Amino acid sequence: MNVKSIVKILTLIIISSLLTSCFVLDKLKALKLTDKKIDQYIAAYNNLKKKMPQLLQEMNKNPQNKDIGKNQFEQINSLIKETGIKDYTEFVLLNAKIGSIFSIIQGEKGMSDFEKLKEKGDKMLSDGEKQLMEQINNPDIPEETKAELKKALEEIRQSTKNISDTYANNTKWANLVMDKVKGVSNLMVDKNDIDVVKRNESKIMQAYTGFTKPYDTGE
């Protein structure tokens, strides 16, 4: 995941959060996450993941049938309620809350991975520069060869500068967006909610695999 994707993910969270009414924010804040709630959410998510292709097929076959939408909603609501979740509304709230926290966690990990990748790249360029300098300072190397080595050295230094400038610009915006996202998320989550999602992160990731994620950018 590159910085561009991270920014897209976080920007989508901000936009969707800003569109959420104060009423919904209050509901989200009041909804406390627990390990049991996570298990119920994952069970409901998996139920819908299995059933959605069939429901979409039914809708495509009978687009003029006004009862299709109602029947499908009843099926969806039933699949959700059998997991212990109160109803469709509670599932939507859980999806919004868990999805936003999960997205932030993944965004932070992506930024950390990008930082580590840059550090490795910087080391490779630095090592390459040192090797060239050793050759340039070697009295046994012909001047013509040294001239070529100096050109290569200048290219490495320019590449290092370009990478650093691009990284600084991208991380500046990524950090800015992340700060905004966390500010909005604080309106509907607390430390306990975050801890619960982190504790169940692998299970949530497994549920999201092969299905549209709350933070999917389409890339």
Residue in 9, 214, 217, 218 with CA at minimum distance from that of residue 98: 214
Which tokens belong to 217?
């950018």
Which tokens belong to 165?
């400038």
Contact 188, 25 (CB under 8 A): yes
HSE at residue 87, side-chain half, CA atoms within 13 A, is: 3
Which residue carries 């309106």 as its tokens?
A: 187
Main-chain dihedrals φ then ψ at residue 144, nearest 5 degrees: -60, -40
Burial class (CB in 10 A: 0-12, 13-18, 19+), 137: exposed
Give the pLDDT band (50/70/90) at residue 213.
very low
Give the pLDDT band (50/70/90) at residue 2.
low
Give the pLDDT band (50/70/90) at residue 184.
low
* Overall pTM surpassing 0.85 (yes/no): no
Res 96 pLDDT > 80 = yes
Residue 148 to residue 53: CA distance in whole angstroms = 61
pLDDT reported for residue 12: 54
Average pLDDT in the 191-216 region?
80
pLDDT reported for residue 167: 67
What confidence tens digit (pLDDT) does each residue in 53-90 have?
A: 887 777 777 766 666 677 888 888 999 999 999 998 89
Res 38 pLDDT > 70 = yes
pLDDT reported for residue 8: 54
Res 50 pLDDT > 70 = yes
Which tokens belong to 12?
């989508």
pLDDT reported for residue 65: 67
Mean pLDDT over all residues of the chain?
76
Please, which residues have CB within 8 angstroms of residue 22's CB and are 6 or more apart in sequence? none
Contact 17, 185 (CB under 8 A): yes
Question: Across the chain, how many H-helices and E-strands are there?
Answer: 8, 0
Which tokens belong to 57?
């097929």
What confidence tens digit (pLDDT) does each residue in 121-138 have?
A: 677 767 777 777 888 888
Please, which residues have CB within 8 angstroms of residue 77's CB and are 6 or more apart in sequence? 87, 88
pLDDT reported for residue 180: 54
For the ranges 33-47, 68-82, 99-113, 204-218, the one whose mean pLDDT is highest: 33-47
pLDDT reported for residue 198: 92
Residue in 216, 211, 214 with CA at minimum distance from that of residue 197: 214
Res 146 pLDDT > 70 = yes
pLDDT reported for residue 202: 92
